[in-house]
A and B are shown apart, each in its own frame.
Chain A
Amino acid sequence: MSAGPLLNIEDLSVALPEGADRRFAVQGVSLPLGRREVLCVVGESGSGKSVLANTVMGLLPAPALRVAGGRIMFDGQELTRLPEESYRELRGRRISMIFQEPMTALNPVLTIGEQIEEVLAAHGMADRRTRRERALELLAAMHLPDPPSLLGAYPFRLSGGQRQRVMIAAALALEPEILIADEPTTALDVTTQKQILRLIREIQERRRLSVLFITHDFGVVADIADKVAVMQHGSLVEYGVAAKVLDAPEHPYTQRLIAAVRRLEDGAEDARPVAAAEPLLEIKGLRKTYRSASGFFGLRKREVRAVDDVTLTIHQGETVGLVGESGSGKTTLGQLVVRLLPADGGELAFRGQEIRTARGARLLGLRKSIQMVFQDPFASLNPRHRVGRILTETPIRHGVTPAQAATRARELLHLVGLDVGAYDRFPHEFSGGQRQRIAIARALALDPELVVADEPVSALDVSVQAQVLELLADLRRRLNLSMLFITHDLRVASRICDRIAVMRGGVIVEIGSTRQIFGDPQHEYTRGLLDSIPGRSWLGIGGGAPVADRATMTL
């Protein structure tokens, strides 16, 4: 083995098509990836980190993106000028890749076995029996349950985490030297994320792999990286050993990003005791079951208890976090509160008024008092309406005169930190964070008392997340808002919530003040969630033993 790096990116530039917002997706990046090393490339959306990964893999979407300069040296070969045929030999056999979305990365009409064996067959493993044995071996190595029956299973039967394991198995089928992982855990729940990270680390050590790991999450970096490269607007701004970059970042951008992550952990320092305040929203024994018919003539009925006997009270001026993984029923509960869905049973009262049965004028009155902020600011604003219309339409519906609504809309824009010029523009002219500010302004346009915020920062970059959370915290103080804050991310919840309710399988398993939940979690599931927060020991969250893997990681 030679001493130099296995993969060396030298002064690489990738040009964007004309008319894009900048000339290069990746500009002058030099980055070595050593043998048996995990290199994390961190950056926010648009930083060029995924383009970098795709360039190494020779997967740039030509002719839109092309290499404009520099070299990628891999084991004496120059990759950027490699003909497609030689690249095909390289891919899978020596460099492999896994992707963000395990739900779409597997072909739904092929069995798991066929998809893994396909990789082997494509690279010349002709014998069927050897292929099958190898596939079984791989699945077993991924700690997947019952590999023999899994070989004949179709992807829809597997969970997201299991699919990602299958993807990793397929990527490792030919024992590559480099694994490129493009946000492989971003689409997964935290507990699953933790398992996948552990698995990647394990196989990396066992198979002496080099891993190029693309992520936006410094928590994940802390858990897995040996070296860290930070990218901003296509340029490399910082590169170094993980511990050094994480604990003593040099570049101001890195410092800002890390500060944004760390700040999330401070906990709601201004958490107020609110027991004395009167209850605003009272949920008692609320139930919602989804029924779907399947099979011939819908004879087989399936039932999912999305919300199962949930009891929760939100007091005046209080922010309650609703934390859970996907499928826990947290979004359903939020939609029941704003009456986007009808409940099946239980009580749901706002200031003593039953929400479930409200109709006509009474429902309109409730709608005025309870508003919602949605997760994806790209989907929650009508792309065909100007911001002014988005902000005034609903107040006008509730009887405000157009002139008053327009004045109020301009005030709201100012309140959420946007320029008044935004009034006449379309949503697509704004960034994600700005759009979420518009969505928040829309929710506030009716002066509601309760805002249901469904993952309001999950679609945003970390630094923007911090800004929007600050805005929400500031608004709720100034306007004495109450909030039901739905999130999958305990770190985010800790930043803004007075109390946190942990939800799982439609049931609230634990509820307590933010400090209690973080400091002294009672339920086993809550402890598991806390334990799965990426970079937990680096961030120094919560009690209990630090993550054990940390010691082996810095070896």
Chain B
Amino acid sequence: MKDLLAWSRHHWALLLGGGMLAVLAALTLAAPALYPEDPLSMVGPPDVRPFDEGFLFGTDSLGRDVAAGILHGARTSLLLGLVSTACSVLLGTGVGAVAGYFAGRVDDVLMRLTEFFQTIPSFMLALVLVAVLSPSIWTIVLAIAVVSWPPVARLVRAEFLSLRSRDFVKAAVVGGHPTHVIILRHILPNALTPIIVTGSLMVASAILLESALSFLGLGDRNNITWGFMIGAGRSMIRQAWWLSAIPGLAIFYTVLALNLLGQGLADLLNPLLARTRRA
């Protein structure tokens, strides 16, 4: 019991971030039950202030329920964030691991490719990709993944470059293990901490990127998202600031939770800290 207390005091960021995300996930899952109507349909009079007429966050200029939008939008935003991050982490880790392990020519080719993507302003590239491929939830996922893998690749490459010269990797080579086993089972687990931490932060930036795209009207029209809501509320910002502020706060809450989770995971997975705790 005392240990548990000490543990939670040490890992407050992990617990708080995880808890905030759990609440968000629960609300997201409960959205169809709480607000069975399509969040894009008009359910009340327009421009209802928050807490008036039974609408928790009021309605927008078309009479759409803002609270329903927030909850239904959470699903799209979280899904987009997680899927696009998973894609870019997989791609980035693959490229970075191969470049870092084999070094030399392979590394040169892969890193020039990575730099090619890095030198293009990422938001512009995402914008062009979505515009060309026509906006839908999957093209947005693709666009976000394409622009956000290069930093992961560079990070993983750097980790692999330093890890591949470690003696335990040499010992595995001398033991006769094949290359893919050495990469996947000996080196990758040791590089996992920074990958997971970066990944958790990337979910946040993916949500922000999607919001920006939606704000510019390049979101998926069939799914409500927070960015879309901010964009739609923009024209009313003088009369009804909460239309933009409430989804903005939702993004803030989610990004904060993810950042806390990322920081907490970094602490939890750091073997050095684990060692001092044990000692």
Contact = CB atoms under 8 A, between A and B. Distances in A.
B221 interface: no
B170 A367 contact: no
Given A19-B279, A379-B166, A442 B171 contact: yes
Contacts of B171: 372, 374, 380-381, 439, 442
A508 interface: no
Contacts of A368: 176
A272 to B, nearest CB: 27
Nearest to A442: B171
A367 B176 contact: yes
B189 interface: yes
Nearest to B168: A382
Contacts of A379: 166-168
Interface in A429-449: 429, 439, 442, 446
A402 interface: no
B279 A20 contact: yes
Nearest to A395: B175
A70 B160 CA distance: 48
Interface in A372-386: 372, 374-376, 379-384
Contacts of A301: none
Interface residue SS majority, chain B: helix
A13 B190 CA distance: 38
Nearest to B277: A19
A21 B166 CA distance: 28
Interface in A360-405: 363-364, 367-368, 370-372, 374-376, 379-384, 393-394, 397-398
Nearest to A394: B175
Interface string A247-291: 000000000000000000000000000000000000000000000
Contacts of A398: 176
A380 B168 contact: yes
B176 A375 contact: no
B271 A383 contact: yes
Interface in A180-211: none
Given A19-B279, A367-B175, A397-B176, A382 B271 contact: no
B265 to A, nearest CB: 16
B276 interface: yes
B173 interface: yes
A440 to B, nearest CB: 12
Interface residues of B, number: 21
B168 A381 contact: yes
Contacts of A381: 168, 171
Interface in B152-186: 166-168, 170-177, 181, 186
Chain A interface size, under 10 / 10 to 19 / 20 to 34 / 35 or more = 20 to 34
A61 to B, nearest CB: 14
Contacts of A397: 175-177, 181
A173 interface: no
A394 B182 CA distance: 11
A490 interface: no
A340 interface: yes
Which of B167, B190, B271, B276 has the largest number of chain A CB atoms within 10 A?
B167
A167 interface: no
Contacts of B172: 382, 394
Given A379-B168, A384-B189, A364 B275 contact: no
A428 B270 CA distance: 13
Nearest to B175: A394
Interface in A1-42: 19-21
Nearest to A21: B279
B275 A428 contact: yes
Which of B166, B275, B278 has the largest number of chain A CB atoms within 10 A?
B166
Nearest to B186: A382
A376 B176 contact: no
11 contacts: A19-B277, A363-B176, A364-B176, A367-B174, A367-B176, A372-B174, A374-B167, A380-B171, A384-B189, A398-B176, A428-B271
Given A370-B174, A372-B171, A382-B168, 7 more contacts: A20-B279, A340-B174, A368-B176, A379-B167, A381-B171, A383-B271, A384-B189
Interface of B: 166-168, 170-177, 181, 186, 189-190, 271, 275-279
